[in-house]
Structure 1
């Protein structure tokens, strides 16, 4: 069994790698856009046929560059996921083996069991498959976004709908602020790093769950203990697998034949909404039916903390999103060749930087007021160096002075 805090942090390495890739993609799109629409209105207003050819050529080169970069990040991700999954598998069985040993049963290490190794490899390959799918669709989305925003700027200026400088600002702002998203079949969208973290955390939870369950079958062990944590999701509040608060922190019967405990199937293990499902931080292992370290989880505290942690995550995502937008605007300002457009972009960069400053303050105040630990590591994004932070502070001060805030 793995502690909920361990599962919460297990995907941070993979999330960081995905964040680095996302930052690279956004800056690559913005940099390429400035080469095409940042040269001034006269350059922008070329013939429609010539413009389209140039955009398609640029889009092809952009996709090639991103695809080449993907191989580097995929190599890092393979190593990270494999290491995280191997470590989690060993830790999960270590806790179970203590109970088996106390009962006089002997076990073999994880890597000496071909069956357990195959289970780990199957889940690892599934997680890597999701990563490859995300990055492939993200690269295609980046190409589409570049073409769409460049064409939109061109058509709006040609038609006289907006001024050139406004068209450039809006195009850059759309890419820098929105970034590129992973789209699920349901229509839901996530950032690349959020989707990656969810996939890796879910894959590791399922892998360790599968090997723990297989080990129980080998040991003919029937009693299962499910972990619990403050802030567990409650779903619709009913007695169903989607309400993790309902089934967490209890003993279960693996076979369903021990009438002292409810059947393990009640947790919904093996489904997306249940135990070890989508982004679940719960784990399970063999139990003795007596000692339960999770029995004192308070329901009222659980609901309160669920709401607070949900809000904390929202504030963290907001800060990261704005940081990425600031970095994108910094690239646009540096590479824009038209003086008027650069001035407009600088004003937007100053505004975004001031917004970032306010969001950071709101986050710190929220954590302080609710006695939550500020998670500075969750506010970080790749490539956000001291230089970028200093530039953002300077831009925020300019905005404050200009608006007399």
Structure 2
């Protein structure tokens, strides 16, 4: 968990550095008039190459820190998951001799696959962030200039408005097949959590294969994702050959939003040997579980909104805009923090202050 948080924080800091570098390069535009606008634009276009080189160095520095941490996280989690799964199997099948984790071909193959998948995602994220940084720089210049020329506002006002929008949206780290843009925060969290899920799933299945385990149970908990409610707390057959229990493939298991394997899903599989194991979990009340899930999603939204407001303030600071704009940005942070306090008071949930922070740049 410590390594995963370090990876997330490195990328959140990188996002802040990239946004701030854009703000610093563009400046406040406070002295620009309509007569000098083209000259101002031309000077910024000439600076794009220097900005790109600087941002590339920032990204390479981040990658140099992240890549070994990701590999270490994968191996630490793999070792822990193998130990836990092996212990659970041996508790119900003490007479069975299995293959040691370090000698298992299945786990070695799983680790190779996990490394390749994780590094590919990180490389794709780095390339997207570099490309999108340049796009944001140019779009801020273009959009602010258009509003300045066509509207009754100063260039500084237009720049503040446009920069605030981009800092609110976040730095895109992925553009998916549908054309949707994933912010750095959203995507790096997805990459880390998806990697953790893949490690747990692949290593557990590798050990199941080492011991020829077929029947598995799915855990259950309150606040489960609504689409997982009908699958939790039940017994399944991994092979699908059981005549008594349904195949695991009949569930959403294996999908990116599926039971056990889904992002932010807290379900897990456990060994089930008929006649030996005791079924540990049973389905929860559906109505209560859905209500808890909705509360958790609302809290995550409020946390993201607070962080976005803090990024706005930081970017405007780097632009050295007028103090009045900074005061507005501070008020936005205060307002969103008040929304969180009201939500916590109403629901009795625990406030997670660390999730509201941005990493200082």
If the length of structure 1 is used for normalisation, what is the TM-score? 0.80
Task: Indicate how the Cα distance of structure 1 residues 287 and 72 shifts in structure 2: closer, same or farther if over 3 A, else same.
Answer: farther
Counterpart in the other structure of 2:60: 71
* Residue 297 (structure 1) shift: 3.3
Displacement of 1:11: 4.2
CA distance in 2 between partners of 1:264 and 1:283 (Å): 13
Change in Cα spacing, 1:47 to 1:258, as seen in structure 2 (3 Å) is closer
Residue 55 of structure 1, CA deviation: 2.6
Residue number in structure 2 paired with 1:131: 122
Alignment of 1:37-52 (within 5 A): 38=29, 40-42=31-33, 45-46=35-36, 48=38, 50-51=39-40
Residue 145 of structure 2: which of 139, 148, 154 is its match?
154
What displacement does 1:161 show? 5.0
Aligned to 2:330: 353
Alpha-carbon distance between aligned partners in 2 of 1:157 and 1:302, rounded to the nearest angstrom: 51
**Corresponding residue to 1:319 among 261, 283, 306:** 306
Partner of 2:10: 17
- 1:288 aligns with 273
Larger deviation: 151-160 or 196-205?
A: 151-160
Q: Secondary structure at the match of 1:247?
A: coil
1:252 is displaced (CA, Å) by 1.0
Gaps of 5+ in 1: 1-5, 235-242, 334-341, 385-405
Equivalent residue, structure 1, for 2:210: 218
Query: Corresponding residue for 1:300?
Result: 287
Counterpart residue number, 1:240? none
Q: Report the alpha carbon displacement of residue 311 of structure 1 after superposing the two structures with TM.
A: 0.4
1:378 equivalent in structure 2: 355
1:45 and 1:22 map into 2 onto residues whose CA distance is 34
Return the alpha-carbon distance in structure 2 between the equivalents of residues 351 and 303 of structure 1: 37
1:231 to 220, 223, 245: 223
Post-superposition offset of 1:198: 0.8
TM-score normalised by length of structure 2 = 0.89
Q: Which residue of 2 aligns with 1:264?
A: 248
How far the C-alpha of 1:318 sits from its partner, in A, is: 0.6
Q: Which residue of 2 aligns with 1:255?
A: 239
| 1:106 paired to 2:90 | no
User: Can you list the C-alpha shifts for 1:156-199, whole angstroms capped at 9, x where unaligned?
Assistant: 44556532332333233234333322322223332212111112
Gaps of 5+ in 2: none
CA contact (8 A) 1:16 1:193 kept: no
Task: Measure the CA separation in 1 of the matches of 2:148 and 2:180.
Answer: 33
Q: Could you tell me whether the CA contact under 8 Å between 1:201 and 1:280 is conserved in 2?
A: no
In the aligned structure 2, how far is the partner of 1:297 from the partner of 1:13? 34
DSSP-derived class of the 1:224 partner: strand
What RMSD in Å do the two structures reach over aligned CA positions?
A: 2.5
Identify if the C-alpha distance between structure 1 residues 207 and 176 changes in structure 2 by more than 3 Å, giving closer, same or farther.
Answer: closer
Offset of 1:47 from its aligned partner?
Answer: 7.1
Residue 154 (structure 1) shift = 3.4
Tell me how many residue pairs correspond in the alignment. 355
Change (3 A) 1:314 1:271: same
User: Do the aligned residues in 2 keep the contact of 1:212 with 1:285 (CA within 8 Å)?
Assistant: no
